[in-house]
Amino acid sequence: MAVGALFAAATGCGPREPVVKIGFVSPLTGDQASPGQDLLKGAQLAIAQAQAEGPILPGYRLELVALDDQRSPTQAVAAAKKLVSDPDVLAVVGHLNSSCTMPASAIYHQGRLLQISPVSSNPQISRQGFDTFYRTCATDDLQGPAAARFAVKELAARTVVILDDMTTYGRGLANEFEKELTALGGRVLMHEGITQGDKDFTPLLTKIKSLQPDLLYFAGMFPEGALLIRQRYDLGVGGHFLGGDGLYDPTLILLATPQAADGIYATTIGADIRQVPTAQEFVKAYEAAYGPVGAYSAYAYEAARLVLWAIKTAGRKDRQAVLAAMKTLTDYPGVFGRQSFDERGDSRIRDIGLFTVRDGRFVFLKTVSVE
């Protein structure tokens, strides 16, 4: 305590040590803390590796500022404003939820701050025309249709019930899925919303049971997904269960119980990290530092490395220069392969992964590449 106070006093009096900061925002507390922490560890790994290599800009110390948005758009905006107003912050990795990234992206754009979102997959975000926005994942106008094709062609689902969590991500993904499904001749018996944080879905599932659909599609996150899966099992609702990347978290199986989760399907916004040859170095380094790789860790690692690359390429502590540098990026040797971005800031790597649950674990089925 006393030593800490002395240290603080010493640094407070002396000249300020020059620092370059990278912002990081995701839910770090609340029901989505677990994927948020996965993202944070990915970003931390990239920063630690960069620090080990030496200063990113000559004479500057590198620092990661991690903020918590609790998956709430209001908190996300507050965090974004905080980062924009700190002149030492040169770029941001975040946020997790599309509903957070959407409003925050406008603030980063105003502040000329480079933002790379690891996993916010709603297509509308990059259609706002912000030159400050990039993302390292595939978008939901790829994920939704890929899921619909899988449902119709491989699961032979003709009648489908769609549920979403009424967020930017959930509703967006569900609509993309529905569009492709109806185009392929599938019939949507019902498309309903649920509320995030709600726990009792038995009335809705009872209604679904009476409709007897071939497939139940859920576009939302794993806390609600787990309860849906569990209550669906308890009520004995038949048919397949398919969901988006929001379900792809081991916590889903833990909360739903392996018994109830067995045989469900989930798509992801990228290939299975363990199958990608270029990712093996990352997987090894991550596992050595933090244990098993989380579903989203690699996206944040990639985003943080791209941000570092842009700062290094810019060569000076200037937000505009960092943005200009990011624009020149092509064929960056990334975790998922050669990384580059289209004019909207969306990654050109457009892989959708497909997983199922077997014996209490997510099992990789295949990668669907989308053009």
Partner 1 sequence: MTPFQVFLQQLANGLTIGSIYALIALGYTMVYGVIQLINFAHGEVFMVGAYVGLSACLWLGLEGVAPGGAMAWGFVGVVGASILGCALLGLAVERLAYRPLRRAPRLTALITAIGLSFFLQNAVMLVYGATDRRFPALVPSVRWNLGGATVTTLQLVIWAAAGLMMAGLQVLVMRTRLGKAMRATAQDPTACWLLGIPVDRIISVTFAIGSSLAAVGGVLFGLYYHTVNFHDGYLIGLKAFTAAVLGGIGNIPGAMVGGLLLGVLETLGAGYLSAQWKHVFAFVVLVVLLLFKPTGLLGERVADRA
- 209 forms part of the interface with partner 1 (CB under 8 A): yes
User: Where would I find the H helices in 151-279?
Assistant: 168-183, 202-211, 222-235, 250-256, 258-261
Cβ-contact 118, 303 below 8 angstroms: yes
Least distance (Å) from partner 1 to the CB of residue 107?
25
Of 201, 248, 301, 355, the one binding partner 1 by CB under 8 A: 201
Q: State the first-to-last Cα distance of the chain, in angstroms, to the nearest integer.
A: 58
Residues near 32 by Cβ (< 8 Å), separated by ≥ 6? 71, 96, 97, 221, 223
Nearer to partner 1, 35 or 144 (CB): 35
Q: Within positions 49 to 88, which residues make up the interface with partner 1, using CB under 8 A?
A: none
Residue labelled with tokens 């943080």: 304
- Residue span 9-48 as binding mask against partner 1, x where in contact by CB under 8 A, dash where not: --------------------xxx-xx--------------
Amino acid at 97: N
Q: How far is the CB of 360 from partner 1 (least distance, A)?
A: 12
360 binds partner 1 (CB under 8 A): no
* Residue keyed to tokens 């080990």: 52
- The C-alpha atoms of residue 341 and residue 135 are separated, in whole angstroms, by 8
Judged by CB under 8 A, does residue 97 bind partner 1?
no
Q: What residue has token string 């398919």?
A: 242
Nearer to partner 1, 208 or 215 (CB): 208
Task: Report phi then psi at 189, rounded to 5.
Answer: -75, -30
Q: Which of 13, 14, 54, 200 binds partner 1 (CB under 8 A)?
A: 200
Compare residues 28 and 43 and give the one whose CB is closer to partner 1. 28
Which residue reads 């004479």 in tokens?
Answer: 59
Q: Position 153: which residue type?
A: K
| CB neighbourhood size of 91 (10 A) | 29
> Per-residue contact track with partner 1, 176 to 195, x per CB under 8 A?
----------------xxxx
Contacting range for partner 1; rule: CB under 8 A; set: 48-56, 197-205, 241-249, 266-274: 197-205
Q: Which is nearer to partner 1, 213 or 353 (CB)?
A: 213
* 3 state DSSP class of 2: helix
List residues binding partner 1 (CB under 8 A).
29-31, 33-34, 166, 192-195, 197-204, 206-207, 209-210, 223, 226-227, 230, 233-236, 251, 254-257, 259
